[in-house]
Chain A
């Protein structure tokens, strides 16, 4: 088990990697384009016409049919259907959803919990908010089906504190669902299989998106990720078996149950089937959330979906939230699925598919400084390499941005980047890997730009003063922004 989830969920099992390398040589469709929207089928393209889909409208357009079907299936059948569909987690890990559910003990000795990860805080990611704000019942239906499959009694939707509007939408939708017997004392649609569903608001900490950090926050503690094992499937929330899935992952589930694994597999690539929400932001003409098949090329995503570049030619693109690293100027042909970005693209993975597109006028050194500042700010402080390393890196980058960089700074950055994270085995969670992959890919793909501002001979005496005003207040252990 350790092998599979080495990364607190962000990792790739050996099996997945093997399958992926086979898939790469296999047949991949030349042209990818979704024939009909799936997750966004009730959300109009025109922003002015978008509105909240309420219970009545959701049911009138075919909602909660999959739940009725799932009620007639056994838990094992549901798990098998989802495993067969090849649905992979959309929260960054890309781990098979069906497989994850199958780890939950079949024999029930107490309550099981479902935690929905709506903590979306990865810079560049805004897909979950988009679908939750408009079509919350699709998520609730996914929750109900998943709970049937894993025999969960309570579902907590862990939503980040800053999503005030979304939290209210969800509370409203849950109230509607209770009124119509989806949740509540009579069981799902009167079946006697009881399920309660609650919103639990976080309070502004990126690290609570990490699944065990989320569990700690749910239990009322500080969001410190846990050492694994035990894995959440065995001892998660309140030390009970717990399923943790991303919002988008669960939204796929009703469609898979309704239309079958074969239909699901007709979209996407062999190793990454299905539709995906791509969040396009940055220097593009039409930023926003777009749904398409996994495996579209970056070129298609930028030029067809997002309406082309704005303000200059393409230079770089963060491919799935900043933790995944950056795609370079010559990588427009990369296919956006869980494997191509990783194996050919040289990034950590597709992540959340939140793309930050940058044009030729973007300063990559400043961009990396921004990313590293994020990690040094959000590190929870448990592991020394992450807590100290990210702060050193930020100080070094501040110096470089202030024009005081030297070659040894660059070497130091690259040395630090190699030593922190789960992959070198020095930290508890994957946040530190985000830091190192962002640094690694930025420096290796835009080395010249960094080398230019880090000359071999020091130009002037290096002062250790931190450049920007807010950086001046540094406590020994971390940063204080207030």
Chain B
């Protein structure tokens, strides 16, 4: 996790317009700066914010965040590359995250992974050519009581008993991932992204 080395070839492509928009800066300033005594502590929320917006964290955004938080770009990259959840290269619209830890393994997660691999025709860590799905394996998702489990973007699917059920889950995903909401959130919500 700590030693992601393959991204070095990722060229820094500068886009004319800033990726860290004024709106995002305002959110960070108003919501997150008062929370912490240092600016650097806002780094994790800022990276989450950028990833939520663009689905990954482009190198240009890292530079901009670093500048905004008054730290060196290398420090921002250091932190961003340490954490597995931050994607420093583009990923598919839907991130299929299958748990591979002990409970899930003894309850049959390998079967699920193999089914996904053959259905999507990709290996773990790869993205389908149409950029719709990326398949990864994660360690324990904290839902061992309902193993095997899979996290699709932000929604957890539990007790996946059969590959048919898995097919159903994939078939029902909406075209636009922004329409994909957690059905368990029934209580009032103002829609703001939790940071």
Contacts and interface: CB of A to CB of B under 8 A. Distances in A.
Interface string A15-41: 000000000000000000000000000
Contact of A124 (B1, B82, B140): B140
Contacts of A199: 194-195
A111 B35 CA distance: 13
Given A121-B140, A171-B194, A220-B44, A356 B103 contact: yes
B128 to A, nearest CB: 15
Most buried by B among A128, A160, A282, A366: A282
B102 interface: yes
Contact of B106 (A126, A160, A282): A282
B3 to A, nearest CB: 4
Nearest to B83: A203
B83 A205 contact: yes
A204 B5 contact: no
Nearest to B89: A482
A201 B69 CA distance: 18
Nearest to B42: A220
B122 interface: no
Contacts of B155: 164
Contacts of A449: none
Nearest to B159: A287
Interface string B145-158: 11100010011100
B167 interface: no
A471 B69 CA distance: 38
Contact of A122 (B84, B89, B140, B195): B140
A96 to B, nearest CB: 26
Interface stretch (A187-195, A255-263, A367-375): A367-375
A367 B37 CA distance: 44
B115 interface: no
Interface stretch (A140-148, A376-384, A456-464): A376-384
B85 interface: yes
Given A167-B194, A222-B79, A478 B3 contact: yes
Contact of B144 (A217, A356, A477): A356
Contact of B85 (A130, A203, A283, A367): A203
Interface string B77-112: 011001111100100000001001111011100000
A196 B184 CA distance: 28
A389 interface: no
A238 interface: yes
Contacts of A322: 101-102
B79 A164 contact: no
B125 A481 contact: yes
Given A219-B41, A478-B1, A482-B125, A120 B142 contact: yes
A217 B78 CA distance: 12
B102 A370 contact: yes
Contacts of A116: none
A477 B82 CA distance: 13
Contact of A204 (B84, B156, B185, B188): B84
Given A129-B142, A354-B144, A238 B187 contact: no
Contacts of B185: 165, 168
A289 B195 CA distance: 27
Most buried by B among A125, A287, A381: A287
B38 interface: yes
Contacts of B136: 481-482
Contact of B123 (A167, A171, A370, A469): A469
B107 A282 contact: yes
B138 interface: yes
B124 interface: yes
Given A220-B38, A470-B137, A478-B1, A123 B103 contact: yes
Contact of B187 (A54, A164, A469): A54
B100 to A, nearest CB: 8
B145 to A, nearest CB: 4
B142 A201 contact: no
Interface string A216-256: 01111111000000000000001000000000000000000
B6 to A, nearest CB: 6
Nearest to B46: A220
B141 interface: yes
Given A220-B79, A280-B145, A203 B139 contact: no
A288 B146 CA distance: 7
A445 to B, nearest CB: 16
A220 B40 contact: yes
B145 A281 contact: yes
Contacts of A130: 145
Contacts of A287: 144-147
Nearest to A133: B184
A318 interface: yes
A190 B189 CA distance: 27
A242 B41 CA distance: 16
Nearest to B117: A469
A162 B85 contact: yes
B50 interface: no
Contacts of B5: 475, 477, 480
A283 B37 CA distance: 47
Nearest to B134: A482
Contacts of B79: 220-222
Interface of A: 52, 54, 111, 120-126, 128-130, 154, 160-165, 167-168, 170-172, 196, 198-206, 217-223, 238, 279-283, 287-289, 318, 322, 354, 356, 358, 362, 366-367, 370-371, 374, 377-381, 469-470, 475, 477-482
11 contacts: A54-B187, A168-B194, A172-B189, A201-B45, A202-B85, A203-B86, A217-B44, A238-B41, A322-B102, A356-B102, A377-B1
Interface of B: 1-6, 35-38, 40-45, 47-48, 69, 71, 75, 78-79, 82-86, 89, 97, 100-103, 105-107, 123-125, 136-147, 151, 154-156, 182, 184-185, 187-189, 194-195
Given A129-B142, A220-B41, 8 more contacts: A165-B154, A201-B195, A204-B85, A204-B138, A205-B84, A281-B103, A287-B145, A354-B144
